[in-house]
Amino acid sequence: MGEQATSDFLGSLRRAVSNVHLYPRGHPQSELALDMLAETTGTLTAGIDALVLSMMDNAFYLDRTLLPQESLEYRDLYRLFQDRGLDSISIDGRPSTGDLAELAAFLANDGSDVPADGTIRLNERPYNRSDLVKLASMSQIRHSYTASLDFLQGVAESMADEAGADISDAVWTVEKLLEQVLLQPGASLLLSTLKTHDEYTFYHSINTSLLALTVGQAIGLNPDQIVELGVGALLHDLGKIRVPIEIIQYPGRLDDAMWAEIKRHPHEGAQAILAGSGQGQEIAALVALEHHARYDLAGYPEVGRRGKLHLYSRITTICDIYDALTTRRAYKRAMPPATALKTIVEGSGTQLDPDLVQIFVSILGIFPAGSLLRLETGEVAAVVAPGRDAESVKAAIVITTDGERVSSPDTFDLSADRVVELLLPEDVGLDAASLVESSHVATG
């Protein structure tokens, strides 16, 4: 059962449920959605007798395996399951299209319960809480992350309706993120640096904010200042909502007209923040305006007359670039975290504030959490946390020398001199998020 198969199944289930509301039974679009659901379900269950999808603590579990990325990406489906009183879905073999249709109708509140003698059964609860791999701190930070996604989605919708951006909940949203950063700094930093999803503005904005909150804490800002910084980082790319998505995702070199559209987003973002927040968020608007201006003021828009970028802008720029470099996008591969850190260091003094770069690198460590490393033995290790010194990390072997996946990885101290290659999840065909988060559980 691959992570992509699980994501495809959840996506097709969500689509089939939506189609129940849009089209009558037997409509070609409904049949197409059910065919896709049957195909993805068949792929997911290929070669096994049964599986269980469980819902608990804002997270999905496939059998006993936590699905961290799917828990964020399909949070609307999770809420739908909650609304229908579901905590588990059991699937036997390859379910019939009829049973899948009844499941979609039930979730859409347009049908009765799935028959008990069918291939799909609800709320059998084959696993109790102690059976499922979980970590309370990661559950809580994931909940705050999800709330942030909902907030940004609401802002985007308000901007699309030409009603102006309603960002009145921005401070509350960041306070919830900060709460988790202060309580569990390792867990929040871990979540922000896991890279298993395609980048889009909302995920990127929250990751940037989490990283900025961590930097703000490290340099000794007081709580009110850290929240100001976090709000600025969370909203720094708000103007991109006004940029056509085909330009944001354009796979080639931008022409002059496209580049002009991109360069408008700092102004658009600053104006949206000021219009949607009233007094008190002028600093957040300044961060949105300055986050591409560069430390040497050679970026855009021109802000030379101010002499120096705001501290929060300089922090946000570093976090913004790091997250962008380490995230897979439609038109480029992600960089391994350690390679991205090297790029950050190379921009020190010109694009980026050198003092803040030094602090940022010291926070993430030589190989940041989520890094995948090939060792001299041929094994692949996932980095869980910084080590005891600058030349080591806490890691877990996730693929053996023979290429076998390790189902329950144990953590150990790994010295940098054992690393021979930096890898990406797609290089080795695994989901770093679930492995690292499970490893984080083992470390306590």
274-301 pLDDT, tens digit per residue, is 887 656 678 999 999 999 999 999 999 9
10 Å Cβ neighbour count for 44? 23
Is residue 197 pLDDT above 70, yes or no? no
Domain end: 89, 105, 131, which one? 131
Is residue 415 pLDDT above 90, yes or no? yes
In whole angstroms, give the CA distance from residue 390 to residue 57. Answer: 35
> How confident is the prediction for the chain on average, in pLDDT?
84
Say yes or no: 194 and 217 in one domain: yes
Is residue 303 pLDDT above 50, yes or no? yes
CA distances (Å), origin 303, targets 110, 234, 256, 267: 56, 21, 21, 12
319-358 residues labelled b (16+ CB within 10 A) or e (exposed): bbbbbbbbbbeeeeebbbbbebbeebeebbeebbbeebbe
3-state secondary structure of 151: helix
For the stretch 64-82, pLDDT in tens is 777 877 887 888 899 899 8
Say yes or no: 359 and 376 in one domain: no
pTM reported for the whole predicted model: 0.77
Is residue 26 pLDDT above 90, yes or no? no
Domain end: 364, 399, 433, which one? 364
Say yes or no: 300 and 156 in one domain: yes
In whole angstroms, give the CA distance from residue 207 to residue 379. Answer: 29
Is residue 3 pLDDT above 60, yes or no? yes
Domain count of the fold of the chain: 3
pLDDT recorded at residue 375: 97
Say yes or no: 125 and 143 in one domain: no
Beta bridge partners of 92: 50
Which residue, 147, 6, 32, 26, is CA-closest to 89? 6
Say yes or no: 355 and 315 in one domain: yes
Say yes or no: 355 and 236 in one domain: yes
Say yes or no: 418 and 310 in one domain: no
CA distances (Å), origin 384, targets 339, 367, 379, 412: 17, 9, 16, 10
Q: Tokens in use for 118?
A: 């069918």
Maximal CA-CA distance, the chain: 73
pLDDT recorded at residue 441: 44
The whole-number average pLDDT for the span 107-111 is 79
Say yes or no: 357 and 382 in one domain: no
In whole angstroms, give the CA distance from residue 264 to residue 273. Answer: 14
Cα 111 from chain centroid (whole Å)? 34
The most confident of 113-122, 218-227, 401-410, by mean pLDDT: 218-227
Say yes or no: 253 and 113 in one domain: no
Say yes or no: 78 and 47 in one domain: yes
For the stretch 143-186, pLDDT in tens is 788 888 888 878 877 776 655 667 778 888 888 888 877 766 66
3-state secondary structure of 435: helix
Say yes or no: 41 and 126 in one domain: yes
pLDDT recorded at residue 231: 92
3-state secondary structure of 301: coil
408-439 residues labelled b (16+ CB within 10 A) or e (exposed): ebebeebebeebeebbbbeebebbbbbbbbbb
In whole angstroms, give the CA distance from residue 119 to residue 336. Answer: 42
pLDDT recorded at residue 321: 96
Dihedral over alpha carbons 406, 412, 416, 418 (to 10 degrees): -50
Alpha helices in 326-431 (DSSP H): 337-346, 354-364, 425-428
Domain end: 364, 383, 408, which one? 364
Domain hosting 331: range is 136-364
Say yes or no: 21 and 168 in one domain: no
Q: What angle do CA 35, 37, 40 make, to 5 degrees?
A: 110
Which residue, 121, 114, 9, is CA-closest to 60? 9
Is residue 16 pLDDT above 80, yes or no? yes
Is residue 258 pLDDT above 70, yes or no? yes
Is residue 136 pLDDT above 50, yes or no? no
